[in-house]
């Protein structure tokens, strides 16, 4: 690949071979010398106290090294230090949610620890748990907190109440989404190794530096004493974006037994201990004129949080800017319940919120007898009316147009139940997608070596999405060296610091740092050459020199130049190195920065069984610059599949009497499998955004899921005439 054509190319994953050959080591695959195995014991009540915990039989079982309970656990602090979670770390006898860890059993082998964990006897004083959401969002608890990115819980512009009261056409509906759980292929796992007061942790995480800060705070240790490594993550989707109790408990257990300890949590334990998407009840009110102009919009969200921490799913955030409307009111409220703390789950807020708002827009389109795309175009927001800022770029019009064309929207007869295929009812639906463009400070190091190789490092993460690959491309293109010569490393707190991989910010944050570090190294090399009487570039002007194929040479006389390697060898340099921290500027004050897209679903519904299936899907997106056409397409497909699950099958069911999860595994919690996923057509529209960050990248981890559940629900309405406002769209709701 030639310079200038590396970034954006559909390059295969640089870590692909290691992954398919088993060479990639995940957190549970590190086995330091003398490692012991920890198994976490979970509570089977959701609220109450531990009256008695008897570990004697467990302690006597073969191979057992320790049984740690609240009676003998070292004193540590699980308290949030801001931005992280309050953790329950065996410090008292209180049980606050189903599956809460109440003991750690450590043994020589996993089998011994698993067996002994069954021998821990517990007697509870159990209370009636708090569970079940009431329906009035605004009567509920308003936590003293903000939404992510320091946005307020409530907003109001204009006069919603007056405008809605006098609006000629109104939609007022309540939408519900259930608890959903992240189900990455790789469950959470941690291996903890103490060496004196130095702690090394191999963790499956979306943020090695966040892990380090949290674990240091739990043990009251300086952050320098903690090193976190994570070279591969088998999926995250938000549940690995916070440091949860098992990480601290693995480190605690290692301290107690004075040996390395490995803890891999069971799939069943992921249903409550590592966050989930909270249940939501969302009130949406739309007021419009007869010709489809929105005059009033209200989106009010209610969700549950735990008894001991607050997480707010920002469901109403997009309603603030996604359509042009003078009178808008949004709010978020929570109810404390006997559940674990919810957390970020792929597009937290935008995915569940867009189900409500984009379903309501479809209902309004039917009410007005206006085409759903046309309705959205009549309310197209030319600027962000909430922040009162222009968009840095916005290609949503093109997304609607190109998507409609690819999808064959014009074939759609808007009449519900008017389209069939064989005995199947056919429906076509669409929705708008959006996700903010985030960026945080990030650092990177670039080291050119005399053998022609390049090492680039940033302590970031690759959740399986392609960080290794796209950063290799950015470095190769910036330095003008072949991609095969670049080795990009990540996942270690000893590397330059980078933000957590959440909020779709890794590509934007880390690519900026990698690009700038590579530019700095290239500049150093060029300056050395033009100051060196033995270099063919001696006395050349810096701006006349370019880099390509591992060489630096004169733009208008390519034969005049030399390789980086020749320069370093001649000058006897061990390397040329640059380390750069890259930070956002004031662009967020000047622009509203979002990716946008349009989602189109064709659903087939069996009129006899009520089974809905997605048969075709088109997603069109304006996401700024695409760093790798292949991994980017995969990301979008992944997001849409996540949305198909959200729409049709995913639901964590709690028994309301006991607040216990009754679907804690992949047999009962239905994620989509290949047979559930149709042909998915992804289109990235050309979008050049010079404002968001140096490479013009908007981030694509999350926008793919947004709007999908609504597009499918709208298609199902079109197919059946049944408006389901309560996810997922299971057959019982369609009969
Ligand atoms: Mo994402 S839900 O911000 O990891």
Q: Quick: pLDDT tens for 112-136.
A: 999 999 999 999 999 999 998 876 6
Closest to 214 (Cα-Cα) out of 191, 241, 238, 254: 241
State mean pLDDT over 260-270: 97
Question: Which ligand 1 atom is at minimum distance from the Cα of 346?
Answer: 2
Question: Which ligand 1 atom is at minimum distance from the Cα of 348?
Answer: 2
Q: How confident is the model at residue 83, as a pLDDT?
A: 85
Q: Are 538 and 545 in contact (CB under 8 A)?
A: no
Question: Which ligand 1 atom is at minimum distance from the Cα of 501?
Answer: 4
For a ligand 1 pocket test, name from 205, 344, 352, 507 the mutation site with the most ligand atoms within 8 angstroms of its C-beta.
344
Reply yes or no on whether the pLDDT at 576 is more than 60. yes
For a ligand 1 pocket test, name from 210, 701, 703, 704 the mutation site with the most ligand atoms within 8 angstroms of its C-beta.
701
Q: How far is the CA of 195 from the centre of ligand 1 (A)?
A: 33
Which of these is catalytic: 358, 562, 650, 702? 702
Q: H/E element holding 415?
A: none
Q: How confident is the model at residue 139, as a pLDDT?
A: 66
Place of tokens 């827009």: 361
Reply yes or no on whether the pLDDT at 152 is more than 80. yes
Reply yes or no on whether the pLDDT at 149 is more than 80. no
Q: How confident is the model at residue 3, as a pLDDT?
A: 41
Spell 242-260 as b/e; 16+ CB within 10 A means b: bbbbbbbbbbbbbbbbebb
Q: How confident is the model at residue 150, as a pLDDT?
A: 80
Q: Are 211 and 218 in contact (CB under 8 A)?
A: no
Q: How far is the CA of 731 from the centre of ligand 1 (A)?
A: 30
- One DSSP character per residue, 482-513 reads -GGGEEEE--BTTSPB---S-TT-HHHHHHHH
Closest to 500 (Cα-Cα) out of 407, 438, 409: 438
Instruction: State the Cα–Cα distance between residues 274 and 398, nearest whole angstrom.
Output: 39
Q: How far is CA 50 from CA 96, 250, 445, 676, in A?
A: 11, 22, 51, 43
- Provide the percentage of residues in the chain whose pLDDT is more than 70: 99
Q: How confident is the model at residue 2, as a pLDDT?
A: 41
Q: How confident is the model at residue 133, as a pLDDT?
A: 83
Give, using CA atoms, the residue closest to atom 4 of ligand 1: 238
Closest to 342 (Cα-Cα) out of 180, 119, 128, 116: 180
Q: How far is the CA of 536 from the centre of ligand 1 (A)?
A: 50
Instruction: State the Cα–Cα distance between residues 462 and 491, nearest whole angstrom.
Output: 8
| Position 4 confidence tier, pLDDT thresholds 50, 70, 90 | low
Q: How many helices (H) and strands (E) does the chain have?
A: 16, 31
State mean pLDDT over 230-244: 97
Reply yes or no on whether the pLDDT at 505 is more than 80. yes
Alpha helices in 107-244 (DSSP H): 110-117, 160-165, 208-219
Those residues whose C-beta lies under 8 Å from the C-beta of residue 689, and which sit 6 or more positions away, are 392, 393, 593, 624, 625, 696, 698
| Position 138 confidence tier, pLDDT thresholds 50, 70, 90 | low
Closest to 681 (Cα-Cα) out of 402, 464, 413: 402
Q: How far is the CA of 703 from the centre of ligand 1 (A)?
A: 11
Q: How far is the CA of 465 from the centre of ligand 1 (A)?
A: 13
Question: Which ligand 1 atom is at minimum distance from the Cα of 241?
Answer: 4
Report residues whose beta carbon is within 6 angstroms of any ligand 1 atom.
206, 236, 238, 241, 344-346, 348, 502-503
Q: How confident is the model at residue 1, as a pLDDT?
A: 35
| Position 673 confidence tier, pLDDT thresholds 50, 70, 90 | very high
Q: How far is the CA of 34 from the centre of ligand 1 (A)?
A: 35
Q: What is the 3-state secondary structure (H, E, C) of 551-584?
A: EEEECCEEEEEEEHHHHHHHCCCCCEEEEEEECC
State mean pLDDT over 579-597: 97
Q: How far is the CA of 348 from the centre of ligand 1 (A)?
A: 7
| Position 137 confidence tier, pLDDT thresholds 50, 70, 90 | low
Place of tokens 């953790």: 87
Instruction: State the Cα–Cα distance between residues 306 and 391, nearest whole angstrom.
Output: 36
Question: Which ligand 1 atom is at minimum distance from the Cα of 206?
Answer: 4
Q: How far is the CA of 242 from the centre of ligand 1 (A)?
A: 10
| Position 466 confidence tier, pLDDT thresholds 50, 70, 90 | very high
Q: What is the 3-state secondary structure (H, E, C) of 287-304?
A: EECCCCCEEEEEEEEEEE
**687 catalytic per annotation:** no
Instruction: State the Cα–Cα distance between residues 543 and 360, nearest whole angstrom.
Output: 56
Closest to 265 (Cα-Cα) out of 194, 340, 199: 340
- Look at strands 294-305 and 328-336 and give their pairing: parallel
Percent composition of the chain: helix, strand, coil (DSSP 3-state, to 5): 30, 30, 45
Closest to 360 (Cα-Cα) out of 274, 268, 297: 297
Closest to 89 (Cα-Cα) out of 263, 266, 225, 343: 263
For a ligand 1 pocket test, name from 188, 317, 502 the mutation site with the most ligand atoms within 8 angstroms of its C-beta.
502
Whole-number mean pLDDT of the chain?
A: 97
Question: Which ligand 1 atom is at minimum distance from the Cα of 702?
Answer: 1
For a ligand 1 pocket test, name from 149, 184, 312, 503 the mutation site with the most ligand atoms within 8 angstroms of its C-beta.
503
- Provide the percentage of residues in the chain whose pLDDT is more than 90: 96
Q: H/E element holding 372?
A: helix 372-378
Q: How far is the CA of 241 from the centre of ligand 1 (A)?
A: 7
Spell 574-593 as b/e; 16+ CB within 10 A means b: eebbbbbebebeebbeebbb
- Sign of the CA dihedral running 140, 146, 148, 151: positive
- The count of C-alpha atoms lying within 13 angstroms of the C-alpha of 317, restricted to the half-sphere facing its C-beta, is 24
């Amino acid at each position: 690949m030639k310079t200038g054509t590396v970034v954006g190319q559909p390059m295969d994953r640089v870590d692909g071979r290691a992954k398919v050959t088993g060479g990639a080591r995940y957190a549970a695959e590190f086995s330091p010398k003398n490692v012991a195995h920890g198994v976490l014991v979970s509570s089977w009540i959701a609220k109450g106290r531990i009256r008695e915990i008897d570990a004697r039989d467990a302690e006597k079982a073969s191979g057992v090294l320790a049984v740690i309970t609240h009676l003998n656990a070292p004193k540590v602090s699980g308290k949030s230090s801001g931005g992280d979670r309050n953790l329950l770390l065996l410090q008292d006898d209180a049980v606050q949610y189903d599956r809460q860890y109440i003991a750690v059993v450590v043994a020589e082998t996993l089998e011994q620890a698993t067996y002994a964990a069954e021998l821990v006897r517990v007697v509870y004083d159990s209370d009636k748990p708090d569970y079940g959401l009431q329906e009035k969002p605004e009567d509920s608890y308003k936590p003293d907190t903000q939404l992510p990115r320091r946005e307020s819980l409530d907003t109001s512009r204009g006069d919603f109440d007056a405008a809605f009261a006098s609006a000629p056409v109104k939609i007022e509906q309540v939408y519900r989404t259930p608890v959903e759980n992240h189900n990455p292929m790789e469950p959470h796992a941690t291996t903890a190794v103490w060496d004196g007061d130095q702690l090394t942790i191999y963790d499956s995480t979306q943020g090695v530096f966040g892990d380090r800060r949290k674990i240091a705070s739990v043990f009251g240790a300086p952050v320098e004493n903690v090193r976190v490594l994570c070279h591969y993550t088998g999926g995250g989707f938000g549940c690995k974006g916070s440091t949860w109790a098992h990480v601290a408990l693995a480190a605690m257990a290692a301290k107690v037994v004075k040996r390395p300890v490995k803890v891999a949590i069971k799939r069943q334990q992921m249903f409550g201990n590592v966050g989930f998407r909270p249940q939501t009840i969302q009130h949406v009110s739309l007021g419009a004129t007869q010709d489809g102009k929105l005059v009033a919009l209200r989106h009010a969200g209610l969700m549950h949080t735990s008894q001991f921490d607050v997480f707010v799913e920002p469901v109403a955030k997009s309603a603030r800017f996604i359509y042009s409307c003078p009178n808008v009111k949004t709010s978020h409220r929570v109810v404390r319940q006997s559940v674990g703390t919810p957390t970020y789950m792929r597009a937290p807020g935008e995915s569940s919120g867009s189900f409500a708002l984009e379903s309501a827009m479809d209902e309004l389109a039917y009410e007005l007898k206006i085409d759903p795309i046309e309705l959205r175009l009549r309310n197209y927001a030319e600027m962000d009316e909430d922040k009162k800022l222009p968009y840095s770029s916005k290609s949503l019009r093109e997304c609607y147009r190109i998507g409609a064309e690819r999808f064959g929207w014009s074939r759609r007869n808007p009449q519900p139940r008017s389209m069939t295929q064989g005995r199947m009812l056919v429906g076509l639906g669409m929705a708008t997608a959006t996700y903010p463009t985030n960026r945080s400070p990030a650092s990177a190091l670039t080291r050119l070596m005399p053998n022609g190789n390049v090492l680039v490092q940033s302590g970031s993460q690759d959740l399986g999405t392609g960080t290794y690959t796209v950063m290799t491309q950015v470095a190769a293109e910036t330095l003008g060296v072949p991609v095969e010569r670049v080795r990009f490393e990540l996942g270690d707190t000893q590397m330059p610091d980078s933000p957590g991989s959440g909020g779709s910010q890794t590509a934007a944050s880390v690519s900026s740092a990698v690009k700038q570090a590579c530019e700095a190294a290239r500049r150093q090399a060029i300056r050395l050459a033009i100051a060196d009487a033995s270099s063919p570039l001696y006395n050349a002007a810096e701006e006349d020199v370019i880099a390509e194929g591992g060489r630096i040479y004169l733009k208008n006389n390519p034969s005049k130049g030399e390789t980086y390697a020749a320069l370093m060898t001649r000058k006897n340099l061990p390397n040329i190195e640059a380390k750069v921290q890259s930070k956002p500027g004031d662009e967020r004050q000047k622009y509203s920065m979002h990716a946008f897209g349009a989602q189109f679903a064709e659903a087939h519904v069996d009129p006899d069984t009520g089974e809905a299936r997605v048969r075709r899907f088109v997603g069109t997106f304006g996401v700024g610059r695409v760093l790798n056409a292949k991994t980017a397409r995969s990301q979008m497909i992944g997001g849409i599949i996540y949305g198909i699950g959200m729409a049709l099958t995913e639901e964590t069911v709690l028994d309301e009497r006991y607040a216990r999860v009754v679907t804690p595994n992949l047999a009962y919690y239905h994620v989509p499998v290949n047979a559930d996923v149709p042909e998915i057509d992804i289109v990235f529209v050309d979008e050049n955004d010079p404002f968001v960050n140096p490479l013009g990248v908007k981030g694509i981890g999350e926008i793919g899921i947004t709007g999908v559940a609504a597009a499918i629900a709208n298609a199902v309405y079109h197919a059946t005439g049944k408006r389901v406002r309560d996810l997922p769209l299971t057959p019982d709701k369609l009969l």
